Amino acid sequence: MEKRRQPLDLIYTLQAAGRILQAEEMEALFGGINETFSALDWLTLEDFNARGSLAPLTKRVHFFPNLTRLQLSYLNMDERDMHGLLESLRSIPNPPRLFLHGNSLGSPDRVQSMVQQALPQVDFWY
């Protein structure tokens, strides 16, 4: 019997941009993911205020083992968001290229140091 493909198996790129996503909306978007989502190659969230509401994503990043690019730009991320993200990316055998443009996380040298300390093999842009 042929295995039926799940709808999430058909998504290779996911992009959300330009609005405010509250914690409940982030939970609705990512909270239901509870199995490996191997087709996802790129994930982009940009240009909205996600401060303090990235936990639903960061808790599930291990379900995206083939992610090659993670872009979280202009999200108003704070240091807690950053630490949660870096910790979760450690669970992926080959962490993705990481783009964090436009977030007020400190000086580029400081942010580069944080990323390199947690994930020395990651390509990173800030």
Q: How many domains does the chain have?
A: 1
Across the range 1-14, mean pLDDT stands at: 49
CATH number at residue 47: 3.80.10.10
The DSSP-derived string for 51-87 is: TT--HHHHTTGGG-TT--EEEEESS---HHHHHHHHH
Domain of residue 87 covers: 7-125
HSE at residue 84, side-chain half, CA atoms within 13 A, is 16
Q: Would residue 1 count as lying in a domain?
A: no
Q: Would residue 81 count as lying in a domain?
A: yes
What is the reported pTM? 0.81
Mean pLDDT of the chain: 84
pLDDT of residue 46: 86
